[in-house]
Amino acid sequence: MNREQKKTSVLEVAELFKKAEGAFVINYKGLPVALLQTLRKRLFESGSNLKVTKARLMKIAFKEFKGTEDFSKHFKDQVGLIFIPKDLTVVAKKIVKFAQENPALTIVSGYFESRVLTREDITTLALLPSRDVLIAQLAGTLQAPMACLARALNLVLEQRTAV
């Protein structure tokens, strides 16, 4: 990799992180290239991007972001960065499932809302329903008392008109 390619790679990693809501670090040591490509395709379907480059270049790219020092400490060995533009839970589910199917892949860490996530945090995120499901559940919860009140008022109105 020449100097120009390294600069391009650093800029690309920095740009992807600027646009992302969060990021995960995975260790893919021992994972065949074909399986890594399968993972890329699955992540691409959810709008995420897996970037594999030298760990040293990743550290350089993250130097411009304040508060990511603890996160960038995880950039060692054969790691890849997954940039998540939206809905962390969907990507967390895909990563956790893929890691269960392929033990060579390990989840190292994550970064979300200026906070470093542990492997356990990411597994917990994978257990949560997606954002859309949570919004639907909230809407149903908010609607239920109003629907009960409307039915009760309707019954009172029917009783008064019957008399």
Average pLDDT over residues 18-47: 91
* Secondary element (H or E) of residue 37: helix 33-45
Q: What is the pTM of this model?
A: 0.77
Interval 119-140 mean pLDDT: 86
Cα torsion through 130, 135, 137, 140, rounded to 10: -160
What is the end-to-end Cα distance of the chain in Å, rounded? 89
pLDDT 10s digits, 40-89:
999 998 889 999 988 899 999 998 888 888 898 889 888 999 999 888 88
- Average pLDDT for residues 29-47, to the nearest whole number? 91
Q: 27: pLDDT confidence band, cut at 50, 70 and 90?
A: very high
The predicted structure's pLDDT at residue 82: 94
Instruction: Render pLDDT for 94-114 as a digit per residue (tens, 0 to 9).
Output: 999 999 999 999 999 999 988
How crowded is residue 28: how many other Cβ atoms within 10 Å of its Cβ?
Answer: 20
In the predicted model, is pLDDT for residue 1 greater than 80? no
pLDDT more than 70, % of the chain: 99
pLDDT at position 149: 85
The closest alpha carbon to 49, from 76, 8, 15, 78, belongs to 15
Average pLDDT, whole number, for the chain?
89
Q: Name the phi and psi angles at 117, rounded to 5.
A: -100, 140
Every domain of the chain and the residues it spans: 3-128, 129-163
Predicted confidence (pLDDT) per residue in 131-160, tens digit: 788 888 888 888 888 888 888 888 888 888
Cβ distance 24 to 109 under 8 Å? yes
**3-128 — its CATH code?**
3.30.70.1730
Q: How far, in whole angstroms, is CA 4 from its chain's centroid?
A: 30
Task: Characterize the bridge pairing of strands 22-27 and 49-52.
Answer: unpaired
